[in-house]
Amino acid sequence: MSDSNRETLRSYDARVRNYVAGTAQTVSGEAKDWIDAALSGLPDTARILELGSAFGRDAAYIASNGFEIECTDAVPGFLAELKAKGLAARHFNVLTDELTDRYDLILANAVLLHFARHEFTYVLKKMARSLKDGGRFAFSLKKGQGESWSSEKIGAPRFFCYWERQDLEPLLADAGFASWSVSEARTSRAHAEWLFIIAFAPRSYL
């Protein structure tokens, strides 16, 4: 795990209340459309894992659609939030921990944007290996170029890495995904331009 990710996690843990207070409490707009698309066609019995569940907003929305979801986070303060809401949650850091199961859908909303580019590439490959045949990895990124540190929203430094679609797509192919959709959207979030991605693992026809 890089120093930038370690520092970002410390900032989140120190400012959990700031994050919760400054974040939309319901799923709406482009993010809702993206999650709905990620869920579309999945059976009720689908195995769904969320990375970086935070205070459980997206998990609650997915559960309201009739699915069971496994919540994870690498921030102890967020795990406490999740458990206080009655959500089953476990500590998991995608950079250092391994997944032992395979999933129909893995969701990571505004998580991978905190990873340096070499970490991002590593995570893509790990997620591709952790999906069932035809499974989906849905994640969102901030659109743009370069990297930055910001203390906006929570009042503590967080690392951000920005992506353009043309730089992302070759990495999806190299990671082993068979196909993907990338939607660009302007949102009401602090950083207006986002990429919403759904990447599909190959499907076996044997």
pTM of the entire predicted model = 0.96
Task: Give CA separation, 108 vs 68, 122, 176, 205, in Å.
Answer: 16, 15, 18, 28
- pLDDT given for residue 200 in this prediction: 98
How much is the average pLDDT of 61-80?
Answer: 98
- pLDDT given for residue 116 in this prediction: 97
What's the CA gap between 121 and 124, in Å, rounded? 5
* Percent helix / strand / coil, the chain, rounded to 5: 35, 25, 40
**DSSP notation for 49-78:** EES--TTSHHHHHHHHTT--EEEEES-HHH
- pLDDT given for residue 136 in this prediction: 99
Using the predicted structure, report yes or no on whether residue 188 has a pLDDT greater than 70: no
φ and ψ at 56, to 5 degrees? 90, 15
The domains found in the chain, sorted by start residue, are 3-194 (3.40.50.150)
| Confidence at 191, pLDDT banded by 50, 70, 90 | low
Which H or E run includes 124? helix 117-129
φ and ψ at 76, to 5 degrees? -55, -40
